[in-house]
Amino acid sequence: MRKEYFFKDKQALVAACTMAISDVVGTAAQSGGATLLVSGGSTPKAIYTQLSNADLAWRSVSIGMVDERYVPLTHPDSNEAMIKSCLVTGKASAATFKGLYSKASCLADAAKNAEQVYSSLAKDSDLVILGMGSDGHTASLFPSADGIAAAMDKASQSIIFPLLANKSDVTGENLERISLGLAAILSAKKIILLITGDDKLAVYKQALTVDANELPVAGVLQQNSTPVDVYWAP
């Protein structure tokens, strides 16, 4: 269920991945509607910029998010702000977009709000775009985070989870996160995992064999229910 696509440089990865996403979303949109769930990050940003100008039936496309920092849209680290500026623009501005962040009294309440919005959006989505950190996290499923056990439960009926990450060079200052759980991610018809750099390639290879408690991305890679296409470039 896992295929690897390795490229000589990021430009080639971006071009190939943009085409792959366009094919999946375009086919689903023409067949009654498509749901695309996306991640933040510098590599996806280049893909989203190209994708926003693709000739797709965008009015039949719903776009959601894989995870978000618990920060307002005005914050420079907001994934939603980046996605709106790069993807939900141009031709893709005709798509329906739903974010994860809402102003609430606490992180848990914000996650409950997102659960209501995503209860139908994130089940059986057509395509999920994931990244991976050098610590083996994907979405906001960080190793040893507060709330990680519930979020990694493949049998969970919940879609969205509040997580409090342990501070590290990977997390930065924004430790409160709102994220899709593993069950919701694996309910997708297809997953694309984007990885760049030799250091992350080494982590990826390790995640093919270690327990998901150590490297959460292993929960995505070591399963046979959902096809995963891995895109890597130096």
Note the pLDDT tens digit of each residue in 49-75.
999 999 999 999 999 999 999 999 999
Confidence grade of residue 186 (pLDDT, cut at 50, 70, 90): very high
DSSP for 148-188, please give it: HHHHT-TT----EEEEEPPP-TTTTT--EEEEE-HHHHHTS
* pLDDT tens readout for residues 152-172: 999 999 999 999 999 999 999
pLDDT at 1 over 90: no
pLDDT of residue 194: 98
pLDDT of residue 199: 97
pLDDT of residue 28: 98
pLDDT of residue 232: 98
Output b/e per residue, 28-60; b: 16+ Cβ within 10 A.
Answer: bbeeeebbbbbbbbebbebbbbbbbebebbbeb
Mean pLDDT of all residues in the chain? 97
Query: In 31-138, where does DSSP find H-type helix?
Result: 42-51, 79-86, 107-121
pLDDT of residue 97: 98
How many other CB atoms are found less than 10 A from the CB of residue 3? 9
Residues paired with 140 in a beta bridge: none
What distance in Å separates the CA atoms of residue 158 and residue 183, rounded to the nearest whole number? 8
pLDDT > 70: what percent of the chain? 100
pLDDT at 42 over 90: no
Of 214, 158, 207, 212, whose CA–CA distance to 181 is shortest? 158
**Average pLDDT score over residue span 110-133:** 96
How many other CB atoms are found less than 10 A from the CB of residue 64? 22
pLDDT of residue 41: 85
What distance in Å separates the CA atoms of residue 139 and residue 179, rounded to the nearest whole number? 6
Cα four-point dihedral sign 124, 68, 193, 15: positive
Of 172, 142, 141, 168, whose CA–CA distance to 77 is shortest? 172
Coil, strand or helix at 74: coil
pLDDT at 43 over 90: no
pLDDT of residue 100: 98
CB–CB of 83/48 below 8 Å? yes
Say which DSSP state 47 is in. Answer: H
Confidence grade of residue 123 (pLDDT, cut at 50, 70, 90): confident
